[in-house]
């Protein structure tokens, strides 16, 4: 009974606290699936600041696979996990990052975008955003393996909306596992990037 | 049984609270169409002196109707919106076309509202596209909801009739097209023509 009460209260809290925090861009009008408010966070990552970032190699929309370890010693890395293609917030978030290349470059940081969608889906979706300057990677198969390594695979098989900032030594320096219904705070991320300069 | 009633009550109250806090697009204020009265929304004081001077406001928040110009072009945009990014240089061209004509400079003011954008995000957008007209943040979408939760970019052109009355003379989602043609269109609607 106690467990049932807890589940009920989590459901109510999700209803109350989840809500739209974005405006709809005309770029995606009529093409975005509206899942409604979702449970803000549905995973329990064990990773913390100071941990070694789990390595991965994933196929990219551009063709060549991308490995986190390939950046070691060269660039800081921001990994932007978003839950799914063709959904609200996600469809807003990366187009914003797409105009901030200068800000990433200034801070010697590269951005990697990851979802659990397959490459054809990501190709079609990111094509609507214009030409993205950063690699978009597919964590489709084995399904969500990288999201699972980072402890952010939700119970319905999509990733959390999460940002990980990793320094040139491969150490995690910032984690923002964000309410899935909202866009992460850009200023907080940039502030952390500047600290690594 | 009593516990079940309590649960049901909590659930219903939560749903009610949700509806109040996060109105659906349908329950947002409706989008003001041409000929309609535009809400005299409260705006935050611009952080930059140039923007305060341009709008001739010194204290904030201030009402939209306080802007001392006959025509106000209001763009609802978002830093995260690809079409807003694409439109930014076009809106800059419009602003310059207005600025170089003394008879239009004081008659028309241009203002952008960053729907869902923080001050940091609005600044990033301004700096990237070298935007000279005022851009104000609307991080919690309060203004966005008051104007109908519109898609972005959205352009309202308002006739400032004084006494806190604003009339919509143009209301459209997406690009307004060629800046010169747009300028002629809104001047015709406002009663006047752009001088060559």
Condensed to tens digits (0 to 9), the pLDDT of residues B41-100 reads 999 999 999 999 999 999 989 999 999 899 999 999 999 999 999 999 999 999 999 999
Q: Of A114, A130, A98, A180, which is closest to residue A27 (Cα–Cα)?
A: A130
Contacts of B149 in chain A (CB under 8 A): 23-24
**B106: which residues sit within 8 A by CB, 6+ positions away?**
B69
Is B22 close to A130, i.e. CB distance below 8 A? no
Contacts of A16 in chain B (CB under 8 A): 14, 17-18, 21
Of the pLDDT bands very low, low, confident and very high (cuts 50, 70, 90), residue A24 is: low
- Give the pLDDT confidence of B53-62 residue by residue, as tens digits: 999 999 989 9
Q: Of A151, A136, A138, which is closest to residue A58 (Cα–Cα)?
A: A138
Is B17 close to A12, i.e. CB distance below 8 A? no
Concatenating the DSSP letter of every residue in B108-159 gives: EEEEEEEET--HHHHHHHHHHHT--S-EEEETT-HHHHHTT---BSEEEEEE
Residues B170, B37 contacting (CB under 8 angstroms): no
User: For residue A26, what pLDDT is reported?
Assistant: 67
**Environment class of A133 (CB within 10 Å of its CB; exposed 0-12, middle 13-18, buried 19+):** middle
How far apart CA B85 and CA B100 sit, in angstroms, is: 24
Q: For chain B, give the percent of residues with pLDDT over 70.
A: 83
Q: How much is the mean pLDDT over chain A?
A: 89
Of the pLDDT bands very low, low, confident and very high (cuts 50, 70, 90), residue A167 is: very high
- DSSP code of B39? P
Interface of A with B (CB under 8 A): 8, 12, 15-16, 19-27, 29, 37, 92-93, 95-96, 98-100, 102-103, 128-130, 183, 185-187, 190
Taking CA–CA distances from B86, the nearest residue in chain A reads A130
Ramachandran quadrant class, B56 (left: phi over 0; alpha: psi -120 to 50; beta: rest): left
How far apart CA B64 and CA B111 sit, in angstroms, is: 10
Report helix, strand and coil shares of chain A as percent, to nearest 5: 30, 20, 50
For A23, the closest of B85, B125, B152 (CB atoms) is B152
Q: Of A120, A61, A128, A118, which is closest to residue A91 (Cα–Cα)?
A: A128
Neighbours of B158 (CB within 10 A): 29
User: For residue A44, what pLDDT is reported?
Assistant: 94
How far apart CA A146 and CA B32 sit, in angstroms, is: 47
**Environment class of B152 (CB within 10 Å of its CB; exposed 0-12, middle 13-18, buried 19+):** buried
Of the pLDDT bands very low, low, confident and very high (cuts 50, 70, 90), residue B18 is: very low
Neighbours of A155 (CB within 10 A): 8
- Give the pLDDT confidence of A33-90 residue by residue, as tens digits: 888 889 999 999 999 999 999 999 999 999 999 999 999 999 999 999 999 998 877 6
CB pairs under 8 A between A and B: 97
Q: For chain B, give the percent of residues with pLDDT over 90.
A: 76
Angle, CA A142 vertex, CA A139 and CA A146 arms, to 5°: 45
Q: Of B75, B42, B78, which is closest to residue B60 (Cα–Cα)?
A: B42
User: For residue A144, what pLDDT is reported?
Assistant: 98
Task: Name the minimum distance, in Å, from the CA of B168 to any CA of chain A.
Answer: 21
How far apart CA A106 and CA A196 sit, in angstroms, is: 11
Contacts of B141 in chain A (CB under 8 A): 20-23
User: For residue A88, what pLDDT is reported?
Assistant: 78
pTM for the full predicted model:
0.83
Cα B117 to its chain centre, rounded Å, is 12
- The catalytic residue positions of A are 90
B123–A contact, CB cutoff 8 A: no
User: For residue B23, what pLDDT is reported?
Assistant: 42
Tokens of A106: 């200034």
Output B102-105 pairs: Cβ under 8 A, ≥24 positions apart. B103/B195, B104/B183, B104/B194
Contacts of A190 in chain B (CB under 8 A): 120
B147–A contact, CB cutoff 8 A: no
User: For residue B5, what pLDDT is reported?
Assistant: 63
B83–A contact, CB cutoff 8 A: yes
More confident residue, A18 or B110: B110
Show the DSSP H helices in B22-118 as ranges.
Answer: 49-55, 82-99, 102-105
Contacts of A186 in chain B (CB under 8 A): 118, 120-121, 124
**A125: which residues sit within 8 A by CB, 6+ positions away?**
A85, A86, A91, A117
User: For residue B3, what pLDDT is reported?
Assistant: 57
């Amino acid at each position: 009974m106690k467990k049932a009460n807890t589940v009920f209260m989590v459901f109510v809290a999700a209803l109350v606290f989840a809500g739209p925090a974005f405006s709809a861009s005309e770029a995606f009008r009529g093409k975005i699936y509206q899942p409604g408010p979702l449970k803000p966070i549905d995973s329990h990552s064990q990773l913390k600041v100071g941990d070694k970032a789990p390595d991965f190699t994933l196929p990219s929309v551009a063709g060549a696979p991308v490995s986190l370890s390939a950046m070691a010693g060269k660039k800081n890395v921001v990994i932007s996990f978003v839950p799914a293609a063709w959904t609200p917030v996600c469809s807003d978030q990366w187009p914003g990052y797409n105009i901030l290349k200068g800000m990433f470059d200034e801070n010697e940081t590269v951005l990697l975008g990851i979802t659990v969608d397959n490459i054809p889906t990501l190709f079609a979706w990111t094509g609507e955003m214009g030409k993205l300057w950063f690699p978009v990677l597919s964590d489709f198969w084995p399904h969500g393996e990288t999201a699972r390594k980072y402890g952010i695979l939700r119970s319905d098989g999509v990733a959390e909306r999460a940002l990980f900032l990793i320094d040139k030594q491969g150490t995690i320096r910032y984690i923002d596992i964000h309410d899935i219904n909202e866009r992460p705070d850009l200023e907080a991320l940039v502030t952390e990037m500047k600290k690594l300069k | 049984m009593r516990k079940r009633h309590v649960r049901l009550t909590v659930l219903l109250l939560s749903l009610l609270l949700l509806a109040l806090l996060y109105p659906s697009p349908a329950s947002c204020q409706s989008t003001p169409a041409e000929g309609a009265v535009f809400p005299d929304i409260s705006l935050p004081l611009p952080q930059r002196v140039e923007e305060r001077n341009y709008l001739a406001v010194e204290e904030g928040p201030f009402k939209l109707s306080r802007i001392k110009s006959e025509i106000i072009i209001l763009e609802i945009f978002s830093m995260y919106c690809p079409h807003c990014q694409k439109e930014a240089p076009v809106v800059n061209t419009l602003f310059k076309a207005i600025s170089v004509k003394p008879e239009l400079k004081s008659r028309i003011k241009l203002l952008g509202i960053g729907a869902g954008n923080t001050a940091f995000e609005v600044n990033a957008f301004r700096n990237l596209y070298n935007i000279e007209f005022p851009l104000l943040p609307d991080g919690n979408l309060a203004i966005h909801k008051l104007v109908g939760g519109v898609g972005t970019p959205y352009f309202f052109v308002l006739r400032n009739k004084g006494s806190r009355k604003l009339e919509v003379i143009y209301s459209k989602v997406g690009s307004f097209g060629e800046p010169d043609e747009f300028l002629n269109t809104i001047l015709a609607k406002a009663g006047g023509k752009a001088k060559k």
